[in-house]
Every structure is written in C-alpha cells, then in structure tokens.
Chains A and B, each alone.
Chain A
Amino acid sequence: MLNQIREVWKYRYFWMSLVKMDLRLRYRGTVLGIGWSLLNPILMTIVFCIVFSSWHENADWRSDAPYFLCGLAIFNYFRDAITSGCQNFFRNESYIRQCPLPIAIYPLRTVLGSSIHFMISIGVVLMTLVLLLPGSGIERLIYLLPTLPAFGLLLILAWSMSVLAGFAQVYFQDMQHLADVLFQVFFFLTPILFKMDLLVQKGVGWLGYCNPVVWFLDLIRTPLLTGTLPSLEVYAWASGFTAVVLSGALIAISYLEKRIIFHL
C-alpha cells in the first residue's frame, strides 16, 4: 500500500493540474463564474429559511440560516462524492486506456474538486455565523479547531466512497440512478431541514444515530453553532466507519485495478 501512495505522489503534478482545470472549466462561459459556488448554497438557505423555519419552535432565521447552510454543505459533499464518483472511471477512460497510472488518482481528482467547493461553502457558513450572531459569532470560530480532524476524516471517507461508487458503476450501470434516488430519500431522513429532536420525538431516533452524515453533522455543525466540544464517542464512530470504508476501497482497488479495463 505504501508503494501505491508513493506512485500517486509521483504523479502529483498530473492530478493537481487536472483538478485545477476542472475548477476552471466548471463555470466556463458563465458570467458569475466561481460566484455560483457561493450563490448556490446561499439561495437554497434563503428558501429554506422562508419555507421551513416554521417546522420547529422559536424559529429565528439568524440561527437557522447557518444551520441549514452547514447541513446542506456536508450533505452535498457526501452526495457529490458518490454521484460524481460513479462516473470516475468512465470519465477518465482515455487515460486508463493509454497509461497504466495508479487508479486511485481518478477518484482523487473528483473528490478534491468537490472538496474545494465544500471549503467555499464552509467559508460562507463561517461568515454567516460571524455576521448573523454578533458577539458570540467570532468566539464560535475557535470551535473550528476541534472540528478539523473531522474534515480530514470526511476527505478520506469521501475518497473511499468515490472509489467504491466508481467500481460499482462499472459493473452495475444502474448504480448512478439508484444513488440519485437514494440520496433524495436520504435528504428527508437526515436532520438538515429539521432538528434531530424531531426524529427522536417521532420514535425513529435510530434513523439519525445510524446515519454517517449525522455523525459528521454532529462533529462539524454542532460545535460551530452551539459552542460545545464535539463528542469523542461520535469521533470514534466516524473514525471506525471511515476505516471500514477505506479498507473496502483499498481491497477493491487491489482486486479490480487491473481488471477494470476489460469492462470499460
């Protein structure tokens, strides 16, 4: 495995330049350009605030907006990792056919692109925290520090899911469509628009506790918004889950890396 990492590092200029190109080309020809990465989450949050704030008591758009925004950013990151991940190997087919590079590079390309958009969204969340919650806003930023390991875990998890999604799509072309539908359903089962209490009230608290997205919401959103330290128990769950998915991805790579060319 160390050899793999060394190989991937050897080709770092290649995949870094592709990631830069992807970013540049994403909004090619548009007027707003990278502004869409900012505008998209902000617009969605405004809609959520107007429409869904009434779902819980003491609705205050000043505290709801960062809540929706953060939840949306994390959920979208998970969703992009899998849905773009499905197209990993098809999109890079020309490189796979020409040069036997380590296949780990292609999911890395996808995930790093998504990560940059995720970082922009988190930047917007932090800005809204500071602007909308004056006084306690800037102090909350200190709670960013204990959440940093969660970002690292999230990156590794996103890469692993991207690898598995890519392989799944090659062998089972329905994967992409299935993922689209499942994420739509998932969106309503995850406490993004509502608070976790709602699920517990309805007696389906387990839906929240078993959901990996919820763990990361607890590790990133909760400290930033409520000024509490992230729980070590949740960190343990998240790390364990990430380790399992990572091993799955590494096993898939070692078995299927050479064989995938026959199925493209």
Chain B
Amino acid sequence: MASIQLDNLSLTFRIRASGKLTMKEYVVKRLFRGKITNFVEVPALNNINLCASEGDRIGVIGHNGAGKSTLLKMIAGIYPPTSGYRTVNGRICSLFDIALGFEFDASGWDNITYRAYLQGETPKTLAPKLKEIAAFSELGDFLDLPVRYYSAGMLIRLAFSISTAIEPEVLLVDEVLSVGDLAFQIKARDRMQEMMKTARLMVVVTHELPTLDKICNKAVWMDHGTVRMFGTVDEVRKAYIRSVDPKGDNAKAAIAAKEKVVAA
C-alpha cells in the first residue's frame, strides 16, 4: 500500500553565503565585532501538508525556485525535515537529475544492473526484465558503449526504462522527461498511464502544463516554499496560469502552441 503523508513539514537550509573566510577577513571582523560566520538560512519548505494515497498521480507546478525539487527530495527521504513529519509507505524510485547515479565508465548494460541493484533488485529478479528494459529504451547497440558517450536524451531513456520496469510503488519524477525526443515523450506518457492502472503513486514535477491532465489526476501549486493550492488538475492549472499571466493572452498562445505539437 503506497502512501505519502507530510504533516507541517518544514525544511531550512543553512548554507555558506560565499567561500571560506580568509585569515584577514576573520581578524578584521573579529576586531570590529562583526559576524564571523557567513551562514545564510534559506527556508526552502514551509509548513507543507500533503496527503496522497494509492492511485494518485500528482503533478507539481510552480515558478523556478519554488521548492518543487526540494519537495520531491524530501518525499524520497534524502533531506531530513527541520520540523514536521514525513511518512512514506512503499518502494520509492526517484528520477532526479539525468546523470545522477550513472557510472560513466561502465557500459549501458552494466548501468542497467547497477541502477536495478540500487533500487533493491537481485540478480534473480533482474534477469527476466533485462531484455524488456533494453527494448523499451530503444538504444540497441549503444548499450555496449560506456555511458559517458550518451546524450542527455539517451540517458533519460535508459534511466526511465530501468526505473519503470522494476515496478516501484512510489515514483518520483523531476522535470527530466522533457529532454527525451517526441517518440520517447509519447512512450513515457503511455507507460505512466499504464502504471496508473496498476494503482501506483506518482509525483511528477513538470512545466508542461498541457500534458498535466494526461498523466495526473491531482496537482499541487508550489509558491515560495509553501503549498498554495492542492486540488484537481484543471482548477490548479487555471489558477496558476491566471497568476502568472493575468491577461491570459500570452499564456494561452504558448499553451495552444504546445498542444498543437503534442496532438500532432
């Protein structure tokens, strides 16, 4: 039973504003009783309340720097919350940065095995799926080459086919699908729809507003680290577009253009 429960979750990063303090700066600041550390607190997420259960496919939208990727990483368990509770049930599979988790000097086949083992597979469970993963990625003979020679699109094809073949219970995708070519985009969409039928939980960060309703049934609008709206795809999308472009003409034209490409 896959589920996500976030209660009053907050995350604050404490990072160095610039490089290390030199000896001279340290002495001068100390003399004038100034601040000797240059740490800055960045409140990335503020009081997030989110509840998702099996069958939900949640799209996360928002401006750049709103905290969408941070939210996903929080759900994946990579960042510990500063306050609040995070409860996620089910096997998690995450697709963040395209190149993350690839061993560049190893071949495509080897990387399939590493990524599969990374996600908890064993040689016995992986063997029957190997051919299917290779076929879905459509990389053919390129799989024999070291992954350092792959393009970004090839990498995401490989990563996506591995991640979805191992049947995760919670799938987290962070804006990476847009790198694939048109054929791959359609394939990925189809596979995600397939996964919907097996009642899994998906959280997808995307800027592709037209395709939101094709793969998601709910949407979250992140704004400066808070959840501004959580509801059906239609209402959240409309509210978001209205806030970005109140007059509506530019946004409508952009979306119409994208929809034409997608429909073609």
Contacts and interface: CB of A to CB of B under 8 A. Distances in A.
A202 interface: no
A218 B99 CA distance: 47
A209 interface: no
A98 B96 contact: yes
A198 interface: no
Contact of B14 (A13, A97, A261, A262): A262
B34 interface: no
Residue among A11, A18, A99 with max Cβ neighbours from chain B (10 Å)? A99
B100 interface: yes
A11 B120 contact: yes
B78 interface: yes
A25 B105 contact: yes
B78 A261 contact: yes
Nearest to A258: B80
Contacts, number: 64
Contacts of B77: 100
A21 B110 contact: yes
Interface string B109-149: 01001100111111100000000000000000000000000
Interface string B97-113: 10111110110001001
Contacts of A97: 73, 78, 96-97, 100
Contacts of B101: 94-95, 98-99
Interface in A213-253: none
Kindly state the interface size class of chain B when it binds its partner: 20 to 34
Say whether chain A's binding surface is mostly helix, strand, loop, or mixed.
helix
A33 B59 CA distance: 50
Contacts of A17: 110, 113-114, 117
Nearest to B93: A99
Contacts of A138: none
B86 to A, nearest CB: 11
A98 B173 CA distance: 11
Contacts of A94: 97, 99-102
Interface of A: 10-11, 13-14, 17-18, 21, 25, 28, 94-101, 258-259, 261-262
5 contacts: A10-B120, A21-B106, A98-B76, A99-B118, A258-B80
Interface of B: 13-15, 73, 76-80, 94, 96-97, 99-103, 105-106, 110, 113-114, 117-123
Q: Which 10 A-B pairs have the closest CB atoms?
A: A14-B117, A100-B77, A258-B80, A13-B117, A98-B100, A94-B100, A98-B101, A14-B118, A25-B105, A94-B101
